[in-house]
Amino acid sequence: MTIQILLIDDDPVVNFIHSRIIQDKFPDHPIFTFQNGLTAIEYIKQNPHYSYLIFLDINMPIMDGWKFLETIAEDETKYDLQIHVLTSSLDPEDKSRASNNKQILSYINKPLKSNNLKDLLKYK
C-alpha cells in the first residue's frame, strides 16, 4: 500500500517548511498539505486506498485538529492512519487530551526537526 504524508496546518509557510524537511528525509513519499481538517478528511475519504502519515495541527479555522480526530474516528476502521499532533500549543490541556486519545501516536512541538522523523515514520 502506498504511503502518503499529509500536513494539516492553517499556516502555508509552516506547511512549506515542514514539507521540505520531510521531502529531504523521505523523497519517495508524496506529501500533501491542507489548511484545515475538513479538506483533509474530504481527501482521505476520496482516496481510502492509501496509508497516511498525518501531521496535524490543533488550532485551525473551519475544522480544528480535535474535530478532525472526532470526525475521522467515525470511520476509523476504513483508513490506515498514523497521526502525530504537530502544534505550537503549549496548553497543558491540549497535551493531556492528546495523551488520552488513542488515535494520536505522538505530540510534537513545532517546528518539526529532521531528527524527529526517523522515529516517527514506521512505514519506511
Tell me the pLDDT tens digit for each residue of 55-103: 999 999 999 999 999 999 988 778 999 999 999 988 999 999 999 999 9
Nearest to 53 by CA among 111, 106, 89, 110: 106
List the domain boundaries for the chain. 3-120
pLDDT at site 1: 64
pLDDT at site 124: 40
**Which CATH superfamily includes the segment(s) 3-120?**
Response regulator (3.40.50.2300)
Give every CB contact of residue 119 below 8 A, 6+ residues apart in sequence.
none
CA dist 89 and 108 (Å) reads 10
Average pLDDT, the chain: 90
Of 7 and 111, more confident: 7
Is residue 71 within 8 Å of 80, Cβ to Cβ?
Answer: no
Long-range contacts of 90-98 (CB under 8 A, 24+ apart): 94/58, 97/66
Tell me the pLDDT tens digit for each residue of 5-16: 999 999 999 999
